Chains A and B, each alone.
Chain A
Amino acid sequence: MTAIIEIRHLVKRYRHLVAVDDVSFTCEPGICFGLLGPNGAGKTTTIEIIEGVTTADAGEIRFRGHPRDARFHQEVGIMFQQTALLDFLTVGETLETFAALYRRPVDLTGLVQRCRLKDILGQMNHRVSGGQRQRLLLALALVNRPRLVFLDEPSTGLDPQARKDLWNIIEAIKAEGSTLILTTHYMEEAQRLCDTVAIMDRGRIIAQGSPQALIERHCSGVTIGLPAHRMAAVGKPTPWPVHQVRDRIEIPSENPRAVLAELMRRNVDLTDMTVHSPTLENVFLKLTGRKLAE
């Protein structure tokens, strides 16, 4: 099957900063491909180069087996991380305006229903809430029946409920067979929505695979968490590595039974102890020594 998009050796420099450093990946049709990394990792620059908004210094991009041409903008949908909309237009008029820019616009009634915009169709763009605005931006990305949808940090700044609403819509789009490329610095978002994840750090892809495969490859076992002040009772040295994250300590272990036995042997108070399976966050921590949010 021909990849919907192929990226080869992409490079982008800003003076002395290499924002995108020899990035290559391939995205198969029908999947959700995630670029996961902290702020400043080069995710947005990478995606904007692919979208054609920013130019690369080097590298090759092929869409459905060919270099991008005029057809590209007809066949992709884009939800930018930060964008304003045309002033003094209602939500409905904005959808109509963008739909008119494409050859094969989607049926707006269905789109409005899918993105739950019916109640705000008559409202001016600048009067809608954060969650409504993100749903509108998502609708604009879908207005042309795109083969490939770019979602750049789609849920940044949303409250948990609005974020979950947006994820539900994205999952529904995915279920219909659309191909998605998503950037995020939320581990939970990547883990829930993406079939394949490329972890980016300092302009480079440092790991790539399905979320589960990445976790299994880099972080087997579990992480045991305790309030940091209990560290004194744990004492030193410990037979396992201990990471302090804000006011808690984390102990990654492939043998939680042995760790718990040792903690109890040292009379450590286990109140407020947590045990969780590794996530992409742990993968990133393992690979870079830093947390995604840092």
Chain B
Amino acid sequence: MNLKRLWIMIIARNREFFRDRAAFGWNFLFPFLIVAGFGLIFGGEAHRTFKVGVFPHATNGMVVDALNIPEGFKRTEQVEFIGFEDRRTGLNRLAHHKIDFLLEAGPPPHRYWVNDTAPKGYIIERLFAASLCPPPAAHLATRGTIHGTPIRYLDWLFPGILGMNMMFSALWGVGYAVVRYRKNGVLRRLKATPLTAFEYLSAQMVSRIFLLMFTLVVVWTGCDLLFDFQVQGRYFDLLIVFFVGSLSLAALGLILAARGTSEEFTTGVLNFISWPMMFLSEVWFSLEGAPAWVRASANIFPLKHLLDAARAVMNDGATLVDVSPQLGLLAAMTLLFLIVSAALFSWTK
């Protein structure tokens, strides 16, 4: 390993990143826009889980207290009421899963409709039925509560957005860029110099990790100023988690970069890997309750372990020791990916 050659290739790659204004801007703007968008939609409050249509009612100007429906149901949390002028419109929305439950306003006996194929319909039907009964006697059930700082959906989502941005940036910034260079002959030109494949790939990886961490800090600072994220653990621990995660993602990018001269094929492979990784790694929603095989298969993705660790530090105040299993897995994945990419790498094919 010649450090001078490594360094000059890192500098060249960094210059490319910072000078490609469009890609550079998008790297920062993309996560910021998503976080800002979700912030705007959810306004920092918990997301309402169920949508209940009520008719007859004007399509706008919903005042829940004025609805002629059971009082207990009106006060049910997690329910958003939406007015429809007539039953036909409401049934159409129900059939298309736009709402979970349709209720006709008026005195008892109440009439309602659910979609048998919608799991949410079953739950909201139970909630509606419960709202018609008196509360259970204290000896039948007692209520306990937990105390602490509430975790907003945005606080839960934010590490996911950052991790997703890291994943796309690592896979495309390393994998796609190297394939493009192989196709247009840049790699062939570099092969004709004393630069070794190990030096070249190391430079790609180090440069990308620097850029990922730089982007992370800038996006975090910008979003934090707007949304004031709650971090229960230490910032340093969070930085280490993202650093180790970026190592594994960049190393995965190197595998994609190892072979191929077709940008179209590489795009397909990148999508084939990145989309399942995004959904199964709990960027957007938790896999809690998903079939066991789905949860098990998610473990093959480094992003899953990165987000588990990041959320544990951010939301639960975990320390590096607490997340050491995830960090260990990420380190092992990094090593595995590096070995595979080194074995597969070709300058020209």
A88 B188 Cβ-Cβ under 8 A:
no
**A/B interface sample: 25 pairs, CB < 8 A:** A53-B188, A53-B191, A53-B192, A76-B192, A78-B192, A80-B188, A82-B185, A83-B188, A84-B184, A85-B189, A86-B16, A86-B181, A86-B186, A89-B15, A89-B16, A93-B15, A96-B8, A97-B8, A97-B12, A98-B193, A100-B7, A101-B5, A101-B193, A102-B193, A103-B194
Query: Could you say which of A73, A78, A100, A140 contacts B4, with CB atoms under 8 Å apart?
Result: A100
Residue of B nearest to A74 (CB): B194
- A25-62 interface code vs B (CB 8 A; 1 in, 0 out): 00000000000000000000000000111100000000
- B64-76 interface code vs A (CB 8 A; 1 in, 0 out): 0000000000000
Distance from B133 Cβ to chain A, minimum over Cβ atoms (Å): 69
Residue of B nearest to A78 (CB): B192
| Given A76-B192, A97-B11, 6 other A-B residues pairs in contact with their CB atoms under 8 A | A73-B193, A84-B184, A84-B186, A84-B189, A97-B12, A100-B5
A85 B186 Cβ-Cβ under 8 A:
yes
Kindly state whether residue B110 has any CB partner on chain A within 8 Å: no
B8 A101 Cβ-Cβ under 8 A:
yes
B188: chain A residues at CB < 8 Å are 53, 80, 83
A51 B192 Cβ-Cβ under 8 A:
yes
A52: chain B residues at CB < 8 Å are 191-192
Determine chain A's interface SS by DSSP, over half rule. loop
> CA A87 – CA B7 in complex, angstroms?
17
Taking beta carbons and an 8 Å cutoff, which residues of A are in contact with B? 51-54, 70, 73-74, 76, 78, 80, 82-89, 93, 96-98, 100-103, 140
Kindly state whether residue B294 has any CB partner on chain A within 8 Å: no
Residue of A nearest to B347 (CB): A53
> CA A97 – CA B5 in complex, angstroms?
9
Distance from B332 Cβ to chain A, minimum over Cβ atoms (Å): 33
Kindly state whether residue B19 has any CB partner on chain A within 8 Å: yes
A88 and B16 in contact, given A53-B348, A100-B5, A101-B5 (Cβ under 8 angstroms)? yes
> CA A140 – CA B184 in complex, angstroms?
17
> CA A140 – CA B192 in complex, angstroms?
11
Residue of A nearest to B16 (CB): A88
B193 A83 Cβ-Cβ under 8 A:
no
> CA A78 – CA B190 in complex, angstroms?
10
A88 and B192 in contact, given A83-B185, A97-B8, A97-B12 (Cβ under 8 angstroms)? no
B192 A73 Cβ-Cβ under 8 A:
yes
- B310-321 interface code vs A (CB 8 A; 1 in, 0 out): 000000000000
> CA A102 – CA B185 in complex, angstroms?
20
Kindly state whether residue B20 has any CB partner on chain A within 8 Å: yes
A87: chain B residues at CB < 8 Å are 16, 20
> CA A228 – CA B186 in complex, angstroms?
47
> CA A198 – CA B12 in complex, angstroms?
39
Residue of A nearest to B18 (CB): A88
Kindly state whether residue B344 has any CB partner on chain A within 8 Å: no
> CA A34 – CA B15 in complex, angstroms?
38
Residue of A nearest to B177 (CB): A87
Among B5, B19, B184, B192, the one with the most A-chain Cβ atoms within 10 Å of its Cβ is: B192
Residue of B nearest to A101 (CB): B193
Kindly state whether residue B269 has any CB partner on chain A within 8 Å: no
Distance from B199 Cβ to chain A, minimum over Cβ atoms (Å): 9
A80 and B185 in contact, given A100-B8, A101-B8, A101-B195 (Cβ under 8 angstroms)? yes
Residue of A nearest to B2 (CB): A101
CB-contacts of B154-203 with A (<8 A) = 181, 184-186, 188-189, 191-195
